Chain A
């Protein structure tokens, strides 16, 4: 029901621990976590250290809610599948990342439809308790904003210089 993921690089014990304890307390079944190569195994849910891209997409497709670090790949994939996502930023002071850029990411994404920010473990638990009612965004396409596509298209110059007379 809930798919938790910490991305490919580093473990994120604070995130996994909250979900693990919450799922036991609330007796929630069918949760799955991807915990990273150095993650501590959760006690109350199925998990794997890593997932390949197809397995990852499959987990997103079949879950009700995604819980994640503030990694852009997971956020974009969850939105593309129309799933609500709860994100908790990694903090450098706990050794969870080399800097606090995930704080900047959530500060700038907070309030967008379908993205729910947990600033700490307490917020995360509160959001999990209303997991069934979290809003989604069903309007996310598989492409970047049209302005960006247009700017790249112009850079490539296919339209302007592509025609050659031989």
Chain B
């Protein structure tokens, strides 16, 4: 009987700017995993040379067509990568990824941005009914919205 370690496959999905910087700060948690990163700026690939990187169209609630393009690409990536686990640091791309995770039997974790110190973001609220777990990075916000708190990226 031989023993080997299975490396979980992770789809790590975030929007750009601060969402992406927060994702980078989670990397120590991924060290035994095969990670596929997804974000909106193709140049972010340079931040994760050790992993696969895919870019999606940027968009938010004010740019509906971009949101649809983003959702289609994330749906495609979900089926193509077939992750075991989806991790998101927001916003819209993370919501779609958590929503589609179930289609391939993946568990999903949505970590709301540390920017949301008093209210959960819209994307986190929407993700609450789809993601396996939602974390807030602020204890009071976690309590108020009935999600978990385990510290922050700061």
Contact = CB atoms under 8 A, between A and B. Distances in A.
A71 B28 CA distance: 23
Given A9-B17, A108-B117, A165-B1, A76 B22 contact: yes
Interface in B1-35: 1-8, 10, 16-22, 24-30, 32-33
Contacts of A72: 17-18, 21-22, 113-115
Given A145-B153, A147-B150, A73 B17 contact: yes
Contacts of A111: none
Given A76-B18, A105-B115, A107-B117, A54 B26 contact: no
Contact residues on B (Cβ < 8 Å of other chain), bracket: 35 or more
Most chain B CB within 10 A, of A105, A143, A148, A149, is at: A148
A101 B116 contact: yes
Nearest to A115: B154
Most chain A CB within 10 A, of B1, B118, B135, is at: B118
A145 B25 CA distance: 9
Contacts, number: 145
A88 B40 CA distance: 26
Nearest to B61: A98
B28 A143 contact: yes
5 contacts: A73-B20, A102-B115, A147-B151, A148-B111, A166-B3
B117 A53 contact: no
B28 A149 contact: yes
A25 to B, nearest CB: 31
B117 to A, nearest CB: 4
Contacts of B125: none
A70 B4 CA distance: 46
A126 interface: no
Contacts of B111: 148, 152
Interface in A86-129: 101-102, 104-105, 107-109, 112
Contacts of A109: 154
